[in-house]
Amino acid sequence: MSSYLAKPQRFLVRPAPGWVDLTLQDVSAVLDAPTQKYKFKPAAVIEDGIVVVSDCDYRQALELVARLTTAHDVEWVIHSGRVSSRGDWKGFFEASGVGELFKGGVAADTKVSAMVSHPVVGTAKDIREIAVATWGFGAGENENEEAAESKSHRVRIDSGKNRTRILVSLAGEPLYKRGYKARVGGATAPLPEHHASACFLWSAKQIGGDLKNKIACGEVTVAAPFAGTGTTGFEAVCRVLNITPALTRDHYACEDFSFHPEATMSSIRKRLLAARGAGKPKIVFGDNTPEIFDALSSQVTSFKESIGVDIDVRMTLNDFLASPDTLAATGFELFLPLNPPYGLRLAKQTGSVSIYERLGLALARLSKSNNISGYVICPDEDSWRALLTKLKSFTCHTCHFSHGGRDTRLVAFTSPSSRTPATYVKM
């Protein structure tokens, strides 16, 4: 088993849908600045919408799970080869090492799935059955994707004409589960954390002006008026303070592997803790729904405890579209990460255009008293256009990503920065 640590390995990094270029940057940043020395020199490229990392020290891949913020999963190619007839499968699975991979007992919580693009060597169902019989675990039948995601461990057989790979999830539960959320009721259509991280990183780059440092030291306040469960604000704070996911999440599937190099993982965690940024960001959360607002207090408490950094959080029960000025007194410079509720499911119903017009007007009004920047998630072309017609004097950049299976637009905006703090009265 420990031979995995002696030879370079290959990993597939699955991005948040639509963000593969950003995830490649995320991967490159982690590989180029390791927390410690590793044996091999890895390379990362995009293939079929996935970031493929080759020639990688297995130990260095632990840094990928610990540090990536825009990825959904990191899968390890534990075994790969060619299967040319049905009779080859059993031997292929025996040679894969999967049967001996898990520490005693945890294999029971493992989902085994198969994808086959060359059914001559068997259907996905047949192949999966042979794998389950060979390894002696993974028998839970045909679970849907959601059930599969909740499993602690996932093994996938990916079979094509010329190559079959066995992929083992290093994360287990998806990487967007950061570990800082309380298990209380939440908002409709929450944005998963890896998307919120990507939206923040992309927008911060478009907005420029040292935004991250200004947020870290509290010079720019993060104002999230459609807070829901707080994800967009939390992820912004984590990025500016360099709070890597492993600092808030205490377990990954790979920690249950029988050869898991525990000392490496704990050294990575220690070094990430030492690299955590200093500063005291300010966040203002708003929401207009009393029950969501109440649950948000628990989220804030849980987040603060989890990150172990003192941050300044205020909350306001407020209708942002009717009273954007409520935010005006919370900081002269505001960064607004906006995932409006009509962003996805509700967008199919009527009214999203007028809501985006009102949102544009609310931002334009707020920009009369404050310097504002931020991002808005738009569900379709019409709502995007409606927003932009009200932000004519703003600098705006748009990109596309995929959320809930829909093509979604992200607008990063900056208000005209002619205002000075002279007229601004602090709360």
Ligand X SMILES: C[S@@+](CC[C@H](N)C(=O)[O-])C[C@H]1O[C@@H](n2cnc3c(N)ncnc32)[C@H](O)[C@@H]1O
At closest approach, how far in Å is the CB of 190 from ligand X?
Answer: 3
282-287/221-224 β-pairing:
parallel
8 Å CB contact between 4 and 259 = yes
> Which residues are near ligand X by CB under 6 A?
186-191, 225-226, 228-229, 231-232, 286-289, 292, 319-321, 339, 341, 343
Expressed in angstroms, the distance from the first to the final Cα of the chain is 60
Q: How far is the CB of 197 from ligand X (least distance, A)?
A: 12
Cβ proximity to ligand X: between 191 and 198 the closer is: 191
- One DSSP character per residue, 310-360 reads --EEEEEE--TTT-GGGGGGG-SEEEEEE--GGGTGGGGSTTHHHHHHHHH
331 Cβ neighbours under 8 A, 6+ residues apart: 220, 221, 223, 282, 284, 370
What gap in Å lies between CA 399 and CA 390, rounded to an integer? 19
Position with the least CB separation from ligand X: 228
Q: Cβ closer to ligand X: 128 or 409?
A: 409
Minimum Å distance from CB 195 to ligand X? Answer: 9
Please report how close the Cβ of residue 371 comes to ligand X at its closest, in angstroms. 21
In this complex, which beta carbon is closest to ligand X, that of residue 170 or of residue 189?
A: 189
For the CB of residue 9, give the shortest distance to ligand X in the complex, in Å.
34
To the nearest whole angstrom, how small is the minimum distance from the Cβ of residue 353 to ligand X?
Answer: 16
Return the ∠ at Cα 48 (arms to 45 and 52), rounded to 5°.
30
Residue 352's identity, in one-letter code, is: S
203 vs 264, which CB is nearer to ligand X? 203
Shortest CB 236 distance to ligand X, Å: 11
Question: For 247, which DSSP code?
Answer: G
Q: Which is nearer to ligand X, 229 or 415 (CB)?
A: 229
> At what angle are helices 193-207 and 20-32 packed, to 10 degrees?
80
Gyration radius of the chain's alpha carbons: 23
Closer residue to ligand X (CB): 200 or 394: 200
Half-sphere exposure of 368 (CA within 13 A, CB side): 7
Name which of 80 and 289 has its Cβ closer to ligand X.
289
